[in-house]
Amino acid sequence: MANLSPLVYWSQTKQTLLLKVDLKDAKGAIADFSPVSVNFSANGHGARGVNAYKFELHFYALIDDENATFVVSDNKIELQIRKLEPEWWPRLVATPQKPHWLKIDFDRWRTEDDAELEEKPRDVRQDYEKEYADLQKRELGYIKEKTKKVYMIFYNLAMFVGYLYIMVVMGVLYYRDGIDSIAKTYANVGNAFKFVQLLQYLEVMHPMFGYTKGSAVVPFFQVSGRNFILFLMIDMEPRMYAKPVVFYVFVIWSLVELVRYPYYLAQLLGREVGLLTWLRYTVWIPLYPMGILCEGIIVLRNIPYIEETKRFTVEMPNSWNITFDMVLFLKIYLMLLILPGSYLVMSHMAKLRSKKLGKGRAKRRQHLHAD
């Protein structure tokens, strides 16, 4: 049987090439880069149905094979390649005759004329960033940072210190008192935890005011979900204070943040710490399921308490002429937390991990697609 080649769409800038391989649900993608070529193979759903596909391309000029990468997504595979010399190529392949399955990606196509039209005004501070920083340091004695960046550094540092304080207190008490300290967890660090959790609502406002990228919706639901458990399910029910699950959920939440905030600090300072990046996008794999389980247990333990106290329940008759059953709400919340909620959170983090850690490298490496 002849080798099947997928449809490949290519585009370029002066510095880079982008190859989009039209394969859905790809498995076992492999890309071998050399300075003059790429050899690709994968199993997936392409132009000829579900099959094994492969192709080889010999480039028009040399590429930086050491930094060539590829990323697998649900409906395509993208090969991201940097040209060895920044120049516009008249064609992708070495020979004038191109393969029939190689197409131009017109949605992303750029020419030299387009680049000139789109070129933004240059900033000498960016063109000579190091020289400008040295000059600024000689003149002022220090390097001026943007107010937003300084604020974000102090915010992330303060949050890291807050969660570190909580973990240190819990650790010292556990070392001193053993398992007897578990029942006193909320009494010892409950107020500190409420403080840092309320501060996290600043992360909802950061994207709204342009301090960070992204939407405010995601951090709002993440912070509100955790605060729902902390304030309504634990703080307002004294019988929950001594439950071991409170100790466990505090440990899990704190461990997540003790990795997240140092990672953000490193990004703000322009430092790439490999171990920290790996922890940021890996530690959630054991911690998130355990956190969801602990939150579910806390909600479940609250149901009989709320049935007894009728807390948050609105019964008829009343002046508003409405009714609200908090017990029913908690049961629905529990189902949403366990099923779609956990799936959405885990799949979102899996995609982020694939994007950050799952890129193919120049050397032969199999890229496993996360389902």
Instruction: Decide if 295 is catalytic.
Output: yes
Distances (CA, A) of 190 to 20, 231, 274, 295: 51, 10, 33, 16
Closest CA to 21 of 62, 55, 66: 55
Which one from 151, 211, 288, 305 is the annotated catalytic residue? Answer: 288
φ, ψ (nearest 5 deg) of residue 324: -145, 125
- 237 contact partners, CB below 8 Å, separation of at least 6: 302, 305, 311
Q: Which amino acid is it at 298?
A: I
> In whole angstroms, what is the distance from residue 136 CA to residue 130 CA?
10
Instruction: Decide if 201 is catalytic.
Output: no
Closest CA to 75 of 31, 45, 38, 108: 45
Which tokens belong to 174? 């556990």
Which tokens belong to 315? 């019964």
DSSP string, 199-232: HTTHHHHHHHTTSSSS-SHHHHHHHHHHHIIIII
Which one from 53, 60, 261, 295 is the annotated catalytic residue? Answer: 295
Which residues does the annotation mark as catalytic? 288, 295
